[in-house]
Amino acid sequence: MHMMQVMQPVVVLAGGVGAARFLRGLVQVVPPAEIVVIGNTADDIWWHGLYVAPDLDTVCYWLAGIADFERGWGIAGDTFIMQARLGRLTDESWFRLGDRDLATHLYRTGRLRAGVPLDVVTDELRRRLEVASRILPMSNAAITTRLKTDRGDSHFQEYFVRDGCRPAVSGIYWTGLEDATPAPGTIGALEEARAVIIAPSNPIISIGPILRVPGMRHALQAVRERVVAVSPLIGGRAIKGPTVELMQAQDLQADALGVARLYSDIAQGFVLDSADAHQSMRISALGYRVAVLPTLLDDPSLARAVAARALDLAERPVAA
Amino acid sequence: MHMMQVMQPVVVLAGGVGAARFLRGLVQVVPPAEIVVIGNTADDIWWHGLYVAPDLDTVCYWLAGIADFERGWGIAGDTFIMQARLGRLTDESWFRLGDRDLATHLYRTGRLRAGVPLDVVTDELRRRLEVASRILPMSNAAITTRLKTDRGDSHFQEYFVRDGCRPAVSGIYWTGLEDATPAPGTIGALEEARAVIIAPSNPIISIGPILRVPGMRHALQAVRERVVAVSPLIGGRAIKGPTVELMQAQDLQADALGVARLYSDIAQGFVLDSADAHQSMRISALGYRVAVLPTLLDDPSLARAVAARALDLAERPVAA
């Protein structure tokens, strides 16, 4: 076995907290330094002059062990002193940033304004937070998820945080895709990967944008036999976030089977929850090798079991 | 007396803490709503993506009564939680920003990035902080003080904060002056002013940049008989900051007389400290009406006396 084989990474396509929970399990079964995360940046937002990358930060904070694991986002024990004061200056204070968390945004924004690409800054941040896994943005280009709702055209964060997912969504679109390319390192990591895992993240607005980066879907198709998706839905419901609402807005069936259909050209393994075992035959019929087990990830030992099973499905194909 | 006369403002050319101390006295003898501050912005700095305007903020926080009056800058009781964390991410954490203070910088930066001019944002901020006096930047253009030192070419804040004024300064220059114009409202305020007071701020790097904005010096010359300067030097020493060092770097005599020479074409009144009474004859000879009294401003009642005397000198000319 030569060196390159030893270094073959496990690549994870990741959104925010769902992916972070999964990664907390994966690092128990794969050396963290062999993991490469390709993170969604289509939820990123310019907020009062600062560039905030919620999904990249969530993944980084969880892997660094400093996340607020209950709340999901931000840093444990953080304070909101800036936030309280901002609320006295403007009504535009709905996107909450903790004081410790702010340092990340200042650092990143300063570097971006100095012309440093997002992938380099992201790597600097994870190293400073002593995260052994690589974290790559899906692209260095500005790609943004926007929603058409009954309250108007919104950035995803306006719909998600400001409006609490209450508006009815009639359409989803992305800006910035045309000229975008995958971030340096992403395609190479996919080509070299011994396994690629699509984390249990929202397939529309977390994984969807990653797959839409020109070239990304094609690269996944080329390694499809090593790609495994973990369903983010359990019994047709999301643990967190508007997965069901946004799948329905796209006229998709909002359950494990609906998710499996979205990935059938890029993945050959599919992990679904025991609650959805009745769909396993139809998912197999799409060409998947299927694993059925409890996929609730709030406990690190459960996350470890799901990660081990997903990895197993990717690395040692079994008959459907 | 018609309405316009009642509204004739008292205009103050201001740097940071020296001007703020003076203003704390002026608001005791002039209704705050009749005061217009024209503030130095040449010390402003882009700091990790945020636009920070130290002099405008110092003036605003002092007038709002929320300043840290001991330290001079920032907000009383502020915390430095972001700052502590930024120090773990980068060595570039020498410019200190409190957590409450950060809200100002986020608000301002967001508005500037949205295309709102600095004078409008500055007015929004002072209104939100319930400051009755108007605060105008000297210009909406980016004008920056830079120093040539034995450690290289520096932004003023690099010299002042990062290097603690230790480098030897061999030259001072400004960028951005060529295309700059005075901010909206500044020239009109000078034209209408019943009194214009040059605050006891550093004449080189606080007042100097204001006077260098194209058109500003000419506007002051036109109202010279109503302009009074307050010396920032007492016995040839500055209360705070590198006034002496920077005057010497410009080959200027670093005392009250040296300051008076700088303003002799734009002011006809000059307030100097009792310690410098021996220079009053030579300052009078420059064409000034002179007032001599204790000018240490750390006590609000002393600041009130200096403000009253400066105003008196501007409004009711007496024979030299």
Encode pLDDT of B193-237 as tens digits. Answer: 999 999 999 999 999 999 999 999 999 999 999 999 999 999 888
- Nearest C-alpha in B relative to A80: B99
Among A138-147, A197-206, B3-12, B179-188, which is the least confidently predicted range? B3-12
pLDDT at A2: 47
Encode pLDDT of B236-251 as tens digits. Answer: 888 888 888 889 988 8
CB-nearest to B86 from A49, A51, A107 is A107
pLDDT at A289: 96
A249 has a pLDDT exceeding 90: no
**B-chain residues within 8 Å CB-CB of A105?**
49
- Nearest C-alpha in B relative to A130: B89
All structural domains of chain A with their residue ranges: 3-141+178-315, 144-175
Tokens of B233: 């030097």
CB-nearest to B81 from A100, A106, A112 is A100
Q: What is the mean pLDDT of residues A229-240?
A: 90
Q: What is the mean pLDDT of residues B25-32?
A: 97
ipTM (interface pTM):
0.91
Q: Which amino acid is at A144?
A: T
- From B147's Cα to the closest Cα of chain A, the distance in A is 21
Q: What is the mean pLDDT of residues B263-281?
A: 96
H/E stretch holding A54: helix A54-64
DSSP 8-state class, residue A38: E
CATH of the structural domain B3-141+178-315, one choice from 3.30.70.1110, 3.40.50.10680, 3.30.70.2520, 3.20.20.140 = 3.40.50.10680
Encode pLDDT of A155-197 as tens digits. Answer: 999 999 999 999 999 999 999 999 999 999 999 999 999 999 9
Q: Quickly state the pLDDT bin for A317 (edges 50, 70, 90).
A: low
Encode pLDDT of B123-161 as tens digits. Answer: 999 999 999 999 999 999 999 999 999 999 999 999 999
A92 has a pLDDT exceeding 70: yes
- Nearest C-alpha in A relative to B46: A110
A 28-47 near B (Cβ less than 8 A): 46-47
A39 has a pLDDT exceeding 60: yes
Q: What is the mean pLDDT of residues A20-47?
A: 97
- CB contact under 8 Å between A49 and B103, yes or no, is no
A63 has a pLDDT exceeding 80: yes
- Output the pTM of the full model: 0.93
Which residue, among A99, A109, A124, A130, would best test binding to B if mutated, counting the most B CBs under 10 Å from its CB? A99
- The mean of the pLDDT values for chain A is 94
B320 has a pLDDT exceeding 50: no
Among A20-24, A241-245, B138-142, which is the least confidently predicted range? A241-245
- CB contact under 8 Å between A49 and B102, yes or no, is no
CB-nearest to A88 from B81, B83, B128 is B128
